[in-house]
Structure 1
Amino acid sequence: MKYSIKQITDLAGVSARTLRLYDQTGLLKPASRSESRYRYYGERELLRLQQILFFRELDFSLKEIKGLLDDPNFDHIEALSEQKKALQTRQKRLKVLVKTIDRTIKNLNEKIPMKPEELYEGLPKEYREQAIENWGKTEIERSEKALMELGKRDFEALKERQKANAAELFELRNEAVSSHKVQDLVAMHYAIIRAFWGTSGSADKQQAYKGLGEMYVSDERYTTIDGSNQPFFAEFLRDAMIFFADQNLQEK
């Protein structure tokens, strides 16, 4: 069977200009020409072109390829075997490079997956078990999943926001819980808690938020400031949270 230049370009993806160049340099001669000088290629030329393309993929120069293919001792099957090995080695290296790129993109997007233990860094070992007891395993696992998806940098930023918010509320502990200054900070506190719970954007959690306020009073770990227990602040925060929940949240 004979193949025209157009058929070869469609089959192999090389341009007519490239085929003419290969003809001029003797790298790939057509099997025959028509009276109108049109080039035609046969099965043997297709196999030689395949070799040229494989060697090009492996970064051989055209001069090197011609020397190899014109060598009387050239073994087609052996060449294919060696090309396969070389391409498989390159494939493995490219897979590693792709993984490196993906990891870098995640890094730049600040979406690096976190390890579960990083969520409880600095907290008592029994914290997770107690949280499950208080809120249920489903709620805790949803919260953990949302926080791990944040990425380490965003998680650290969220903790800093919580710390700053707590410090500002502590400064207002002698104010009326209904004051605008206190309630503005409690609104921020509620948003931060929702981010920790992984429920931002979903229905209000009125009873859960009020329940958290009660926990602040019953468990001193939640309202310990600079290593000192602050029971008065715990009660202030609980009352401010309950006021906020009653005024602004609806359980759905």
Structure 2
Amino acid sequence: MTTRRDLVSKIALGSVVAAGALRAAPARADSAGENRLDRIRRTGKMRTAAVVGAEPFFHKDIMGGGWSGACVSMAQDLAKSLGVACEIVDAQWGGAVMDLQSDKIDVMFALSPTPQRGLVVQFSNLMIDNTFTAIVRNGLEVSKWEDLNRPEVRVAFDVGSSHDIFVNRALPKCTKVAVQSPTDTIMALQTGRADCVVQVIAIAAVMHARAPNVGTLIVPQPMIGQPTCVGVPVESDPRWLTYINNWLLYSRSEGIIRQWMFEAMTSQGVKIESLPPGLSF
């Protein structure tokens, strides 16, 4: 039986192919002489990456080796809409752009756009609208970002991430504690190496749910949003990026992206009703 979602995917794919047929100039080909969308459909696989310790976006079963999480659900659904398999490799946030550049993967979910990244990879329309938050140690009074922008405040963040970029831009006077992963930031707070952890709300909510006594989860003022998108390699043929944008438009309008986010957060112990007010994915 053809579902409404299947029908929309077929229409989206058909419109992408038709748009490509109207182009007079040939697309830049890869080594096989194909554009990326055609190659994915011919090989029957779509390659993406996932980051260990980046729940709720990605979660790796240490025993079984399998992946789950909001972005894994997204990747699997995107691949399903194309009728191909979803192949997932391990990555780090800091290396995701290089993985796209080197043709190791076809798509990377939950990648935040910056002008510098935009020079070497392409970004989709909005995937989710995240918000920067802070987990502060007990006893540290914080209501606005400027309260953290002091040399005596040690702020932990994971290198190569949007948190890294934000801390260096918005909190230049703080003492920076750069670590490898989001999980390491909480360990820095627990062991007294840091006074505060800066993360987007989706990740911070999971980290705080795992260790609620480590500190207080707050949204310092002013509230600063973090657009989160899908990254793809640069190529002249727009069909792969156009297809992803069509898929995103449908998935967001139907509330499916939000559903995947909430399901993944709940699976990691987050109580959705406990999230700070005023947030929207």
Under a length normalisation based on structure 1, what TM-score does the superposition of the two structures give?
0.21
Greater helix fraction, Structure 1 or Structure 2: 1
Under a length normalisation based on structure 2, what TM-score does the superposition of the two structures give?
0.20
Rg (Cα) greater in structure: 1
**Structure with more contact order per residue of length (Cα contacts < 8 Å, sep ≥ 6):** 2
Greater strand fraction, Structure 1 or Structure 2: 2
